[in-house]
């Protein structure tokens, strides 16, 4: 751990993946960067632990060699609803299942190698016109980056907590010692909830539940998914159940003066898309470019652009979540024409434009009318 300096070019508040990514993006452009967090690594978070191919590419652009963290590849996505299932591979290369603690540890090492000053166990208590208040004193900074999560203090301190849209669901995650039974990350649909099954090693699976009911836990939800319950029967849980909030939050602005927000502090899409890590990696790179230009308005515009596709995907999949009959027809239509899911995945990972996907969706609509 490095001590806090008297001054720095960029002060990043928050040491999770978003803060580390933003710190590396700024450091790669020659800025003196300090990152502070009240916690001490490794920092964990309940999530599905699946990285899509575009997320892997975004991490690589930041100089994060994900292959060094281990993990387990998966070819694509499988949608399952009771007896109906459809699967499709990603158009170019696999995704990666990776324990969140392993990802965080790797990113801490990468940030340290890049020359980021890391200050763990440090309490940041407020912003100042010349920087931030940390550990009872002023640290002067040219730029301040808020990467302190969905309940961001920086967002509140900077007066950026006005939003256009906000909704919440609840996620719970546990790992099981069982060999992967599929080459795909599986999304199992139930009434008003989903299970995400992601292989994270040759001997371990991540099982994540998302629903609108904060009282629903994995042990209560598993009987609703008989196929998954059968696979996990007798498997030992390798971690305790861990929970978090999955938010869809769109802020009116992510910058003010010399302060910018990144990651969940800057808004988020529902975890149903699996886009959280990809978003924060792309936002960090965009923020780095804006800092280099000296104009945070460029980041504001890029942040909006980066969020459009994930927001569309979240709206589409949440519509399927709310309407059982519609979801059943969509999955059955795709099962009879798997190229429709392939097109959806290609759009999801940025290989196909949104207009092209919408044109392709006309075929899906026709099949839904005829099944």
CATH number of 7-71+97-165+248-315: 3.50.50.60
Give me the tens of pLDDT residue by residue for the chain, a chain 371 residues long. Answer: 568 999 999 999 999 999 999 999 999 999 999 999 999 998 898 888 999 999 999 999 999 999 888 899 999 999 999 888 999 999 888 999 999 999 999 999 999 999 999 999 999 999 999 999 999 999 999 999 999 999 999 999 999 998 877 788 999 999 999 999 999 999 999 988 999 999 999 999 999 999 999 999 999 999 999 999 999 999 999 999 999 998 888 999 999 999 999 999 999 988 888 888 999 999 999 999 999 999 999 999 999 999 988 888 888 888 888 888 888 888 888 888 878 788 888 877 877 776 776 666 655 554 554 55
> Whole-angstrom Cα distance, residue 268 to residue 253?
13
- Which value, to the nearest 10 degrees, does the dihedral of the CA atoms of residues 320, 323, 324, 326 take? -70
What SS3 state is found at 266? helix
> Whole-angstrom Cα distance, residue 91 to residue 349?
9
* pTM of the complete model: 0.92
The number of residues making up the chain comes to 371
Token look-up 């998954």 returns 228
> Whole-angstrom Cα distance, residue 104 to residue 96?
15
The domain limits of the chain are: 7-71+97-165+248-315, 167-245, 323-370
Contact 3, 36 (CB under 8 A): no
> Whole-angstrom Cα distance, residue 275 to residue 264?
12
What is the CATH topology of the domain spanning 167-245? Answer: D-Amino Acid Oxidase; Chain A, domain 2 (3.30.9)
């Amino acid at each position: 751990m490095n001590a806090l300096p008297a001054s720095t070019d960029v002060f990043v508040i928050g040491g999770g993946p978003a803060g580390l990514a933003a710190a590396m993006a700024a450091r790669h452009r020659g800025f003196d960067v300090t990152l502070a967090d009240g916690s001490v690594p490794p920092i964990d978070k309940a999530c599905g632990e699946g990285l899509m191919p575009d997320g892997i590419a975004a991490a690589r652009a930041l100089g994060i060699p994900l292959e060094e963290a281990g993990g387990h590849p998966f070819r694509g996505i499988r949608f399952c609803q009771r007896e109906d299932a459809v699967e499709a591979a990603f158009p170019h290369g696999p995704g990666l299942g990776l324990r969140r603690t392993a990802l965080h540890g790797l990113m801490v090492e990468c940030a340290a190698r890049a020359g980021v000053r890391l200050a763990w166990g440090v309490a940041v208590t407020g912003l100042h016109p010349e920087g931030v208040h940390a550990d009872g004193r002023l640290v002067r900074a040219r730029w301040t980056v808020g990467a302190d999560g969905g309940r961001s203090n920086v967002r509140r301190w900077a007066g950026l907590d006005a939003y256009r849209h906000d909704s919440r669901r609840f996620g719970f995650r546990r790992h099981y010692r069982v060999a992967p039974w599929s080459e795909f990350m599986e999304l199992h649909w139930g009434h008003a909830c989903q299970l995400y099954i992601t292989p994270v090693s040759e001997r371990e699976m991540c099982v994540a539940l998302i629903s609108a009911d904060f009282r629903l836990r994995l042990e209560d939800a598993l009987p609703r998914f008989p196929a998954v319950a059968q696979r996990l029967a007798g498997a030992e849980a390798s971690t305790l159940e861990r929970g978090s909030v999955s938010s869809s939050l769109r802020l009116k602005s992510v910058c003010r003066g010399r302060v910018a927000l990144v990651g969940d502090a800057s808004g988020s899409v529902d975890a149903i898309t699996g886009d959280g890590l990809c978003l924060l990696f792309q936002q960090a790179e965009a923020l780095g470019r804006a800092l280099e230009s000296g104009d945070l308005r460029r980041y504001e515009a890029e942040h909006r652009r980066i969020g459009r596709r994930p927001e569309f995907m979240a709206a589409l999949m949440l519509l399927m979540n709310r309407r059982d009959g519609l979801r059943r027809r969509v999955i059955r239509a795709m099962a009879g024409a798997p190229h429709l899911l392939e097109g959806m995945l290609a759009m999801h990972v940025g290989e196909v434009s949104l207009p092209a996907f919408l044109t392709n969706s006309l075929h899906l609509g026709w099949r839904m009318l005829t099944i």
